[in-house]
Structure 1
Amino acid sequence: MSLLAAILFAAALPAALASPSKPEQPGRLKILVPQSTSAIPLLMLADEDPLKGVDIQVETFLAHAQALALLLRGDADLLYTGTSQGWENRLGGTSIVIVGTGVWGVSSLVGKDASIARVADLKGKRIALPFPGSPLDFQTRYLLERAGLDPDRDVEISYGAFTQSLPRLLAGQLDAAALPEPQATTAVRGKGLVRLFRYADAWAAASGGDGMSPQVSLFSMADWAGAHARTLRSLATAWRQAGEKAAEKPAEAAARYAGALSVDAALLEEALGNTLFAVPGFADHKARVLA
């Protein structure tokens, strides 16, 4: 994982630090974002248009693979998606590069049995993850190994969309499912399920750190990033400020974007409290992702 991240950063570094002499004026900046709490800071940018002369247009998506295809064929400038999905695509031979990471914790393990309070309690259990190679797949396997469990023998892992995992969990076909926000809070508040643990808390316990691990990152194609370096630096600053605002004033952000995300405002406010927003500076970001 670290080698692949290094390749991503090696390609993105010139774009992040260069100061091209020719003018940059994209006019329109089209960003694809998931329909989740992760997207709120970028939705704020679309409403406020903080970059002079740039119309920021944000479109939500449900299918990551389709959104990625739009970026690859040039129908979008930036894609906000699972960090490891970008890594995997780079490994597949594309020129996708990482611009920054905005979410460092957004998921919880949800189930019916409250006795599952630690990762070690998952031995012999059936759990669902979104897809192989997703941030939650990497993170869950690491946590299981740190707890002394073999992910391929001691736990039955299945993969599927979040929309498939929840019905299976409710039907008793699973013991637990990893869900991002706002789906995790919606399942707990609306379906009578239990938040077994937050991934950020489990990660902090296992790593001895602050619980932050890269979950949702902003990607572009290398040529586009190289041609719009100053725009990306300005975007990162505005994005950082929007993330801080969403974290500091979750009730305000929830009331503003509950409709866009099709979630009750009170639920969205709680979901925001379970989302770790941060847009580190380039050096700090690189160090964290390569860790």
Structure 2
Amino acid sequence: MEQRLFAVACIMYAFTLFTRYLNKKNKLNSNTSFAWWHASFLFIILSCAVYVLTFVMGGGAGEPLNWSRLVWGIVLSLGCAIYGLLKGKKATDDKRKKIMKADLEWSNTVYFAGFVASVVMFFFIQAFKIPSASMRYTLVEGDHLFVNKAVYGFRVPFTKVRFGAYEQIKPGDIIVFQFPAKDRSQQNCGGSQYGKDFVKRIIAMPGDTVQVKNGRPWVNGKELPKQDYEVYEDLERVPYFEVDDKEEYQNLWEDHLLDNYLGIELRDSFGPVVVPENSYFAMGDNRDNSCDSRFWGPVPRENIKGKAWFVHWPLNRIHWIK
């Protein structure tokens, strides 16, 4: 979302600079030129609003774009632009000055707010919506939460470099991360997860050996103590079985291909694998209904956006996330 807000801010800033240039050259003195300028402004600012809202209402990164909303939004923008065109052609000199002043104030407000919001969302806080039941009942479908992106360090734009971390990633942390897919052709958990944001809980750290036996996670040869947040169903379990070729198994897991071979069996019988350097093993709290590291592999450090922090909506669900 921060990239979209930044793009909108750049568009409105460019429009403002172009308007100042036209004013300097006295290109907006006639009713016709002014009317087209005002119509362009209305179309651009409303289209930018539709562009942002379409993704906000769509449910998250990587989700299919809602084309019907986008089309209706563009139609609305065109309608307002036509109205602005007709209004501009009838405007007096005083009216033109008032309209232009108001338009430029809106343009300045939008690009300034867009720049500030994109910086805040890139470095500090991002909004996220829970799309599935994989973290139930810690987080349930429809929860709106804030993600603390600064807690694990600020990321230098367009790089993997981070600095200023005041907390290290540790087992038990609930993280939000971009799914580790190389391209859209990669299939995991029944489809392409490319570009989507996931939320899971850290189970194991780099260098740890992980197994799942009868649905329960084991780390470094020891079964993890059952926690209050873990949810299991009364299911018939796949018995744990030792793999013959551990090296091939490890490679398939690191390449995010293991679930294409073993499928749902990985829910109950998994491993052993060694978590690679700069990567983590993550699982959903709803252990029997979670598409997680058992199926699609390790979470690279650079994919982690931040730590789930605070549920702010709905009102009866407001709480700090633990």
| Class of the TM-score when normalised by the shorter of the 2 chains | under 0.3
Larger relative contact order (CA 8 Å, sep ≥ 6)? 1
TM-score when normalising by structure 1: 0.27
Q: Which has the larger radius of gyration?
A: 2
- What is the TM-score when the length of structure 2 is the normalising length? 0.25
More helix by share: 1
